[in-house]
Chain A
Amino acid sequence: MEGAVQIQVNGLPRGCRSGSTVGDLLRELGIKIERVAVELNLEILDRKDFELRSLKEGDRVEILSFIGGG
């Protein structure tokens, strides 16, 4: 893939287009941006920054949401 970078998403390796944003990644994964929290290299992102932060080689992304719990 032209301009591909290797990142990690939720602990799994993944390739993505160089310069794509967190927002692009979420859309690619089919994840609705409401009610998810995203951490990029241990930094918790503001929702409004999803479209502003681009992904680069080696980035570690964590995407979390709410599940059943006590």
Chain B
Amino acid sequence: MYDDRLVIAGREFKSRLWVGTGKYKDFAETRQAIEVSGADVVTVAVRRVNITDRSKENLLDYIDPKKYTILPNTAGCYTVDDAVRYARLARAAGISDLVKLEVLGDEKTLFPDTAGLIEAAGILIKEGFIVLPYTNDDPIVAKKLVDIGCPAVMPLAAPIGSGLGIRNPYNLKIIMETVKVPIIVDAGVGTASDAALAMEYGADAVLMNTAIAGAKDPIAMAEAMKYAVHAGRLAYKAGRIPRKLYATASSPIEGML
């Protein structure tokens, strides 16, 4: 398994399951779900500290930045200026130069504004950020992002939190043929088979949040997802049989009575 490390911008990761830290019941559940999932990379959001209620605990007291790679996102940003501002703030908080770049285009779908995404990515890459863009399933956009310097792309499977799984596997496959960087399917995964399928198609990793945090039993789902991503990856590397219209017997005819 360790020969199959995921490498992005010179960083190596054992797990191909990346998880978000949002929507959990509390920090204890967040920590347990992440541990059970086996994830190396966790996303976080950047928000104002609550200065009126100082009893509020800190997420990073539960998720150790030495143990996990913290990937700050620019969630909730609808303009290039906002996304760039939040990325810079995330870096100023002193964890790393990594950023999951989101420039959203629409509140209902949370689809990326791809023009804004490309512009913001260009600005941040020039400032030395390692930009992992949350993008759509358009291979043209994926190529533009890679051409300007993104070391990986993160195409959505379906709208964030929708649980629909991969809606457009054909585009995902075209993206895989179009770009030579790691592809992390991000957003829209609903259950274990969705994650396994993403990996069978050839994705390098899967990022999910709601699929785990929103499950009836998040800890159980975290475990399911760990196996799903692993199984999908093994199946992909094992080389599946082709699909055929007709049967080919598994037992020989020779030696029959």
Which A residues contact B (CB, under 8 angstroms)? 9-12, 29-32, 34-39, 44-47, 62-70
Contacts and interface: CB of A to CB of B under 8 A. Distances in A.
Interface in B37-77: 43-49, 51-52, 54, 58-60, 65, 70, 72-73, 75
Nearest to B27: A68
Contacts of A12: 51-52
Interface string B66-92: 000010110100000000000011111
B93 to A, nearest CB: 4
Given A29-B54, A64-B47, A64-B49, A70 B73 contact: yes
B51 A67 contact: no
Given A69-B20, A70-B22, A9 B51 contact: yes
Nearest to A30: B54
Interface of B: 20-24, 27, 30, 43-49, 51-52, 54, 58-60, 65, 70, 72-73, 75, 88-95, 160-161, 187, 207, 209-210
Given A63-B48, A66-B46, A69-B45, A38 B92 contact: yes
Given A29-B54, A70-B210, A35 B93 contact: yes
Given A12-B52, A37-B46, A64-B48, A69 B21 contact: yes
Given A64-B47, A69-B75, A70-B160, A35 B95 contact: yes
Contacts of B58: 32, 35, 65
Contacts of A37: 46, 89-94
29 contacts: A9-B51, A10-B49, A31-B51, A31-B54, A35-B60, A36-B49, A37-B90, A37-B92, A45-B92, A46-B92, A47-B92, A47-B94, A62-B48, A63-B48, A65-B46, A65-B47, A65-B60, A65-B93, A66-B45, A67-B44, A68-B20, A69-B44, A69-B73, A69-B209, A70-B43, A70-B73, A70-B75, A70-B161, A70-B187
B166 to A, nearest CB: 17
Contacts of B91: 37
B186 to A, nearest CB: 9
Given A12-B52, A35-B60, A47-B94, A68 B30 contact: yes
B216 to A, nearest CB: 19
B89 A39 contact: yes
A67 B45 contact: yes
Contacts of A32: 58
Residue with the greatest number of chain A CB neighbours at <10 A, chosen from B24, B46, B95, B187? B46
Contacts of B21: 67-70
Nearest to A14: B51
A70 B209 contact: yes
